[in-house]
Chains A and B, each alone.
Chain A
Amino acid sequence: MSLYSIYVLEYGFVPEYHKSGVVYGAHNQGYVKLPYCYAVIKGDNWAAMVDVGYNDRDYGRYLGDLFDVRNWRPPHDVLAEIGLTPEDIKAVFITHAHFDHFGNVEAFPNATFYIQKKELQEWVWAMSLPDRMRWILSGIDTGDILRGVQLARDKRLVVLDGPMENVVPGIDLHVAYDSHTFACMWVTVRNDGQAESGDVWVLAGDLVYQFDNLQGASEQLKIDDLYLPVGLATGSQFNLIMATEAMMKQVGYEARRVIPVHEARLEHTFPSRLTKHDLRVSEICLGGDATSAV
């Protein structure tokens, strides 16, 4: 019997996003829909999230105007689709500190947040660099750092120094250093609770944006099944590929078990539905005797 149900919940989207942002080096290959999502892991009377999205209040209007982000909805509305409230969330695994993953911690008053120490240390260090090097800080909101201080004061921030097994039973946190960001995590769910599990799901954070990063096609190389790094690496493409291999190895190279959260085509692989706000709810798996939310 599976321990957890897993959902990917869309909270906004960009209708036409450059393919080159999704796949490194995919110049002039047009546009794809890019959903913004977070993942929810739901057990008996316990629920966790992988990332929390961003808060529309501070700069949502700019994102809408400048980048055409549409249909942003708050966690209260998005979680209601699977019968949860933000207050139900007890743990949040922050894969990395980009604004669209770490940007809305205030919405979850009862959650303990997990993040890598190196992720925090390096971003803070990068802020000490001169203006001409500010590219490194893309996507980082200083407001999130301040909100992190508040979490720490409330003793709701767990700062990890490397990977951690069984952060709760059956759930492991892994780290890809100097990849998409300085210390980017992925979350592995061993859904049968076994150490040598036959039912593994990997929630990839931004180490993989879409299926193309897992099973890509290269016109130049005339290969149609290879790992392709995501469009943004603060670290290196090499480390992204190595992380992809590590994730794939954990799921026995069954690509559908590595879940990308910026993928609009999850509906082709998993049961799903659209909400009245035109946002997709994808049901990756159902735990125990849970009933379907789609």
Chain B
Amino acid sequence: MSRREGAIHDPACSIWDVPADSQPEALLAAGVRDEDMVAYLSAVRPLYDALKRCLGQMGGVLLLLQARGLERGRGDVLMTSIRTQLDEAGERLRCFPVPPKAGRHHAMLTGLAKALCEIRGRLERTVDLIDPSSVALGAVVDALFGIHRGLLATADPGVGLSPVDFTAACCTCRPRTKAHAA
């Protein structure tokens, strides 16, 4: 199938330029010229997404607890997945070179990963988090919002670090006119 016939988006559509995968080629196409930064961004994108997903799952555990929608098995699966994803992200955050320009960015993500680990430990004991008015629940929710602000601060959707993946979302499609103007 030719690209023209096979593409959902028009081949000229600039959606193809949005580096959702943060592959080096996509980052170069997006205008990132510094090779060290290309390598850094490429390595950090999946970790950024993992932190985002862990945050969502922890919020989800609390939400489903409140809504009486967290069955025992489901909760266990989520807690295991959070642990695995966080351990892996924490490990991999230490395993690639960080160019000086990205020093603060990397330090912040490392801090967010650590904060998520602490809350995960707290979530292992959920008994006192079920009561909507519990002080403990308030503290955990505040901490999660803090991490969310950190993820917004470290976001850069232009290079694939996005608080929301808009690339295939309903009602979001990059119009051709913009790309041509750019």
**Are A134 and B10 in contact, with the CB atoms below 8 A?**
no
Residues of B within 8 A of A27 (CB): 5, 7-8, 10
Q: Could you say which residues of chain B place their CB within 8 Å of the CB of A209?
A: 170-171
Asked if residues A231 and B163 are in contact (CB atoms below 8 Å), the reply is: no
A157 within 8 A of B: yes
Whether B56 and A66, one on each chain, are in contact in the complex, defined by CB atoms closer than 8 angstroms, is no
The smallest beta-carbon distance between B182 and chain A, in angstroms, is 10
Known: A59-B164, A121-B74. A146 touches B144 (CB 8 A): yes
**In the assembled complex, A262 has its CB within 8 A of some CB on chain B:** yes
Q: Looking at B18, B61, B170, which has the most chain A CB atoms within 10 Å of its CB? A: B170
Interface mask (B129-165 → A, CB under 8 Å = 1, otherwise 0): 0001100011001001100100110010110001111
Q: How far is the CA of A110 from the CA of B175 in the complex (A)?
A: 37
The docked-state distance in angstroms from the alpha carbon of A135 to that of B165 is 8
**Least CB distance, B91 to chain A, in whole angstroms:** 15
Query: Within the assembled complex, what's the spacing in Å between the Cα atoms of A134 and B7?
Result: 20
Q: Which of B77, B82, B163 contacts A142 (CB 8 A)?
A: B163
Is B126 in contact with chain A by the CB < 8 A criterion? no
- The majority secondary structure among interface residues of chain B is helix
Any chain B CB within 8 A of the CB of A39?
Answer: no
Query: Complex formed: what's the CA distance from A155 to B131 in Å?
Result: 11
A149 interface residue (CB < 8 Å to B): yes
Given contacts A63-B166, A121-B74, contact A16 B177 (CB under 8 A): yes
Q: Interface residue count for B (Cβ, 8 Å)?
A: 63
How far apart are A194's CB and chain B's nearest CB, in angstroms?
Answer: 32
CB nearest to A103 among chain B residues: B164
0/1 string, A241-265, CB within 8 A of B gives 1: 0000000000000000000001000
Pull 27 A–B residue pairs with CB atoms less than 8 Å apart, ordered by A.
A15-B177, A16-B175, A18-B13, A20-B9, A21-B171, A27-B10, A59-B155, A62-B158, A65-B158, A66-B157, A67-B166, A124-B63, A124-B64, A125-B78, A127-B54, A128-B81, A128-B85, A137-B53, A138-B165, A138-B167, A142-B56, A146-B145, A146-B148, A159-B68, A209-B170, A231-B8, A232-B170
Please determine whether B69 and A31 come into contact, CB atoms closer than 8 angstroms: no
Interface window among B35-43, B44-52, B93-101, B102-110: B44-52
Chain A residues with a Cβ closer than 8 Å to the other chain, count: 60
Given A18-B13, A58-B152, A142-B148, verify A148-B59 contact (CB < 8 Å).
Answer: yes
A121 to B61, CA, bound (A): 9
CA distance A232 to B155 in the complex (A): 25
> Given that A121-B74, A127-B53 are known contacts, is A134 also in contact with B165, CB under 8 Å in the complex?
yes
Residue of A nearest to B78 (CB): A128
Name the 5 nearest CB pairs between A and B, nearest first.
Answer: A124-B60, A139-B169, A128-B81, A152-B66, A142-B56
Residues of B with C-beta under 8 A to A120: 60, 63-64, 67, 69
**A143 contacts the other chain (Cβ, under 8 Å)?**
yes
Contact B132 A153 (CB under 8 A): yes
Task: Confirm or deny: B176 has a beta carbon within 8 angstroms of a beta carbon on chain A.
Answer: yes
- Determine how close the nearest CB of chain B comes to the CB of A33; give it in whole angstroms: 10
